[in-house]
Chain A
Amino acid sequence: MEFFKWLDKLGDGIKEFNPMKIPVLHFPDIWQNTTYVYTFLKIFLAIIIVISISNEFSYKTVRQNIIDGMSRLDFLKSKLATILLLSLGSSLLVFITCLLTGIIYTSDNEASDMFIGVEFVGAYFIDLFGFLVFAFLMTVLLKRSALTIFILLIYRLIEAILIANLPESVEFIGEYFPLQAMSNMIEVPFPKYAFQEIKDYVVMPFVWVSLAWIGLFVYAIYAKLKKSDL
């Protein structure tokens, strides 16, 4: 790990410990560090999605499009395509920033080492895509953009409160709540700089749980669209 190498180099000079010089932006740590931080910014992309979808309802354009010959499934597909494109674009951006920043900060670059941990970008993609699909579901359920954005902003808090109040016997299911499961894919990387053990890999079981949630969300959106009068 880059951090220990760095500590090693310091050797006796450990007294000169400068937190600003911790190698957070070096390969391979950068992949986890950056993607972890970026997952906090997904709310901004979710706002775009919420507005784009709630506009379809408030301007009644979804109704007109269906009258003109779209099906409800077509509407679902088109919005999912938008979400997919946005998530892929954002993931690509994260990938490029990580790569460039890593190249700049890491002194002993070896091409083969650069991509160790690149799977965190994949986890970031699933996290973002899942959150945007969740935003889609909330918009379809609530219809109003301001209310939906507010709910999305405080939803993590709601989930945290629910998890904290779970009876002890079923406490473990808290980890499988949708946004909790998604954030469990990328563990908080920073405690390692305080010599604590962390999972410095993508936690695969939660990848599958997250994908299952996404599938469930998409189905819920479809069921709601199918049932509602537009």
Chain B
Amino acid sequence: METVLSIHNLTKRYGRITAVKDLSLDVQRGNVFGILGPNGSGKTTTLGILLDVINRTSGEFSWFGEPPTKDMRKRIGAILETPIFYPYLSAAKNLEIVAEIKGASKDNIDPVLKTVELYKRRDDKFRTYSLGMKQRLSIASALNCAPEVMILDEPTNGQDPQGIAEIRELIKKIASDGKTIILASHLLDEVQKVCTHFCVLKQGVLLYSGSVDEIGKGAISVEVTAETDIEKLLKEWNGATEVKSEESNFIVKLVEGKTASDLNKYLFEQGRVASHLVTQKKSLEKQFLELLAESEHA
């Protein structure tokens, strides 16, 4: 697999504060890579450095296996925080400027504006747009230039449900073309839904980097209820490592390799029937909080 982005020991200091500390990462082509972290963990600073708007203190990074230049950035589409355009120019004019900088064709501007339903407003000044429309215009801009890599920083921040859905559609559309997406967010649910890989930053330090699929691995927990009392039976079963009572349910942590069907079979053999049986998915949120908690103890 081809490495699109490679970061080595990247560090950024603001006076005494270290915003990014010794960060090393690799992003492969076709990944949807989530950068997670609480507020102020260095996500935006990292993206700013990668896009050359923030100067690094030390460290290296390369796009497409080559040192960063402005021509590399032309192959990357980025929406950082809020959409930025010239407020006193029309939508069409703004898209022309972006296309000019990126060296992209200007013929697709009208179709792209139709796609995001801004065609009727194309000659209105950008400052008259609502937040949702501004967001749609930046989507239009990204679509028009068809970048190989898309960088999104808190793309759904302050968006209404429609805006969030549109961003998600964009991510899916770009990802389905086999393109690479780097997504910084603190919305874990969002990341779990769309990402293939993720990393966790805290105060500029990389805590974890891996694939989203790996989260589900390891011992699983099952939520179970029966008409009759089964607590004793569950505790006796050699497939369970831990049994907790939670409201009307029992949470059974299974031995690695065992699944909910093993539990169901066991109960049936004991002459009991489960009325409720759910495998608890280990969520990214849980993983994330665990990682943060671990780093606090360390």
Q: Which residues of A contact B (CB under 8 A)?
A: 59-61, 63-71, 74, 227-230
* Cβ–Cβ contact B51 & A67, under 8 A: yes
* B17 at the binding interface (Cβ < 8 Å): no
* Cβ–Cβ contact A66 & B52, under 8 A: yes
Q: A67-B78, A69-B70, A70-B101 are in contact. Are A230 and B53 (CB under 8 A)?
A: yes
Interface string of B244-262 (1 = CB under 8 A from A): 0000000000000000000
* B40 at the binding interface (Cβ < 8 Å): no
Contacts of B48 in A (CB 8 A): 229
Interface string of B49-70 (1 = CB under 8 A from A): 0011111000000000000001
Q: Which residues of B contact A (CB under 8 A)?
A: 48, 51-55, 70-71, 73-74, 78, 80, 84-87, 97-98, 101-103
- Looking at the complex, which one of A60, A69, A227, A228 makes contact with B101 (CB distance below 8 Å)? A69
* Cβ–Cβ contact B84 & A59, under 8 A: yes
Contacts of A74 in B (CB 8 A): 70
Q: Give the docked Cα–Cα distance between A152 and B225 (Å).
A: 78
Contacts of A228 in B (CB 8 A): 55
* Cβ–Cβ contact B84 & A64, under 8 A: yes
Q: Nearest Cβ in chain A — how far from B34, in angstroms?
A: 20
Contacts of B84 in A (CB 8 A): 59-61, 63-64
* Cβ–Cβ contact A68 & B101, under 8 A: yes
* Cβ–Cβ contact B53 & A63, under 8 A: yes
* Cβ–Cβ contact A64 & B85, under 8 A: yes
Q: Nearest Cβ in chain A — how far from B20, in angstroms?
A: 13
8 nearest CB pairs, A to B: A69-B74, A64-B84, A69-B73, A71-B70, A229-B54, A230-B53, A68-B101, A67-B51
Contacts of A70 in B (CB 8 A): 70, 101
- Looking at the complex, which one of B55, B73, B86, B87 makes contact with A68 (CB distance below 8 Å)? B73
Q: Give the docked Cα–Cα distance between A175 and B209 (Å).
A: 63
Contacts of A71 in B (CB 8 A): 52, 70
Interchain residue pairs with CB less than 8 A apart (26): A59-B86, A59-B87, A61-B84, A61-B85, A61-B86, A64-B84, A65-B97, A65-B101, A66-B51, A66-B73, A67-B51, A67-B52, A67-B53, A67-B78, A68-B73, A68-B78, A68-B101, A68-B102, A69-B70, A69-B103, A74-B70, A228-B55, A229-B53, A229-B54, A229-B55, A230-B54
Which chain A residue shows the least CB distance to B70?
A71
Interface centre among A61, A69, A70, A228 (most CB of B within 10 A): A69
